[in-house]
Structure 1
């Protein structure tokens, strides 16, 4: 047992919805620490069995506690880990702090010695970037995905109007719905709705759920309705995150504010 596992906070409740394991914590910091401990343990276990690990990260304030805790875990051979991210805006300046690649540079990519970091770079040709990124993703299996859930139930930028559980593509251009765009304002990533791009490049739902293991971190009262629909609603693209209930190895980490049953 490593130090992170030994110090892992215990959830207040642990239950299962279909195949999805849900752990609910008293506080956001405990939720993030527990998710980080589980990711670290999974990394250590897999690196003991194979030469390299490939993982995808979400960029959002909801992930900050988990990423901070993960970066602090000692003893992980990050030099054998290749990192991807799952979505990026189209039309933002490469230097914009709201750009997801830049957010991840600050919170994880720039803090750990990864073997490689593959960033989505939509300019100057988003269609060419989709082909390039799809090829990179398909060079070998994706072992882990670290993600969140949007207020409209999206995973990555698969909003309800564009989410497709049978999508033939791995990466695509999507139009963002206004609920998703408003969330970016509410998260203080943009000053107003007009500043939020209308299009983005995203990994599709099937590409995400093909990962060997998924760690989904969703704190905050604003996410409570989305979590409720994920757990209690039908399996539908009206709540794209509901697909997580079908994954063989996904854990959802929530806090008392996002827990609809608390």
Structure 2
């Protein structure tokens, strides 16, 4: 799995292509392919599936370790758990997964998410590993629309807060730094906010039905799609999608 500069450059190329309205369809598809972002998504899902397969079908223990254990390692282990464990596909369980596998395990959010892809700055240690994870989870939610208790709105909210947040959940690079900076004492938790009843319902998937089975995603090229809700949200209005989502919620409540 690629990380660091190659992944960040891929992200930048994709964002630049998505924000260029002058491109013809052929040129836009060419830019999309040359960014190689969807290849990174496929590679991440494939690796997570390999780890999950070893545990589920071969009943083997799996050791996953990248260079430092705080980037691609967390990406693979977290994705494998979403694939294998239905509790990680609930809103509460997914929050616990992020807290355990990304925050407490030391993913350096401050270094990796220092600036957005739209920034002209090119920081050496910046890399969208967490975004890649969220994109992979979105792919799972698209392929298994009834199996995740939360919807796209949660994933978008997590992305936004990883890069710029009024909460302290994604601050600093490690638990040690958060302790030294007294983050928990001086900031509010993102989880506390989104778990408020008046907010929580916005993040739930009205089509959710508990699925105790392992969810094996397809990683064929035709199955991996661009996350339009994120990458095209500033140039493609979401009004009709939002209205359709509200109608689905209304119909589910009535039935």
Query: Do both proteins adopt the same fold according to a TM-score greater than 0.5, normalized to the shorter chain?
Result: no
Structure with the higher strand share, 1 or 2: 1
Q: State TM-score, norm by structure 1.
A: 0.29
Structure of higher CA gyration radius:
2
Structure with the higher helix share, 1 or 2: 2
